[in-house]
Every structure is written in C-alpha cells, then in structure tokens.
Amino acid sequence: MQIAKNTVVTLKYTVRDPDGNMIDDGQHPLVYLHGGYDGIFPKLEEELHGKNQGEQFQIKLQPDDAFGDYDEELVLVEEASLFPENIEVGMSFERVTDDGEEEIVYRITDVAEGKVVVDGNHPLAGIALLFDVTVAEVRPATAEEVSHGHVHGAGGHHH
C-alpha cells in the first residue's frame, strides 16, 4: 500500500546529528496519521508521501524544518529566590508568555552564585537532523482515527 492522506504509517528510523552522534535510536517505531495532522515534521511527511511499505530513504532536516533555530533571547538568567530550593540542572517548567497565548517549556541549564539560567529553546534547536527511515507498515486509517486526527490502538493514542 502507498502512503497517502488518511493512511496510518509505521516507521522504523534512527536520527543522528551532522557529526554522526545518535539522537534517537528508534527503539520504538513511530506510528502516525498521514495527511497534515501534525504527527511528524511537515518536510518528513512530504518526503514520505507516495512511498510504499518496505521503502528506505535518508533525509536531512535543517533546523527550520525540525526544532527551529537557536534563539538567544530564550535564554534567561533569573534570581534563584524565584525558584524552589530543590531545583537542579535538567529540570523543566512551563511559562506562559506575557500575552498569555503561548506556553514555553524552559529547562534549567545552570545554577550558580544565586542565579538560575533557564533556556526556552528545544534541546535540539539549531541542529540539523539526519533521518534513516524504513516504511515498516501502511494501512488505511479508520473513520474514528481520521475524525480524531490521530492513530488509535497499538503504537498510537489510547482513549
């Protein structure tokens, strides 16, 4: 079966950075509803369109096509007194923007001398991603999956 709108696609994949370092070993296959439901990066979905079960390919996504460019303005240095005493590097929290529209997840990247450095960039922002992909399975989506905009059952969303 060929990948088309409203098909459920199962991918076996790995993701590496441009230096060959493993970012995601694809231990768990990716299962998504194809056709603009925002289940995967749009450029990757575009590349998959029309492929058949068993096909393999490689694709390089630039930061703009993946997690975006690194934005220095999303790195903030705050007073430690604004945070709980038990904070540690690696913890994350959500912060709503001043206009109340968007929630940004910030990670704590440093704690020192009464200051806390927080970073609102995705950990992979600014990094190109190299995907090795095999189309493991393609099947028609159910009417319920299409109406909900996501996969149900094994590997997908469960209600």
Candidate CATH numbers 3.20.190.10, 2.40.10.330, 2.120.10.30, 3.90.1150.10; the one for domain 72-119: 2.40.10.330
Is 112's pLDDT higher than 80?
yes
Instruction: Give domain limits for the chain.
Output: 7-67+125-148, 72-119
Residues 6 or more apart whose CB falls under 8 angstroms from that of 8 comprise 31, 32, 33, 34, 137, 138, 139, 140, 141, 145, 151, 156
Amino acid, res. 23:
I
Interatomic CA distance for residues 10 and 5, integer angstroms: 14
β-strands 22-24, 103-112: how paired? unpaired
Q: How many CB atoms lie within 10 A of CB 149?
A: 14
pLDDT at 93: 87
* Chain centroid, CA 27 distance in Å: 15
Specify the CATH number of the domain 7-67+125-148.
Answer: 3.10.50.40
Interatomic CA distance for residues 13 and 10, integer angstroms: 10
β-strand partners of 112? 115
pLDDT at 99: 72
- pLDDT digit string (tens) for 132-151? 999 999 999 999 999 999 99
pLDDT at 159: 47
- pLDDT digit string (tens) for 43-100? 999 999 999 999 999 999 999 999 999 999 999 999 999 998 899 999 998 877 677 6
- Whole-prediction pTM: 0.81
* DSSP alpha helix (H) spans, the chain: 42-48, 143-148
Q: In the chain, how long is the greatest CA-to-CA distance? A: 59
Contacts 24+ apart (CB under 8 A), 16-22: 16/129, 16/130, 16/132, 17/127, 17/128, 17/129, 17/130, 18/60, 18/127, 18/128, 18/130
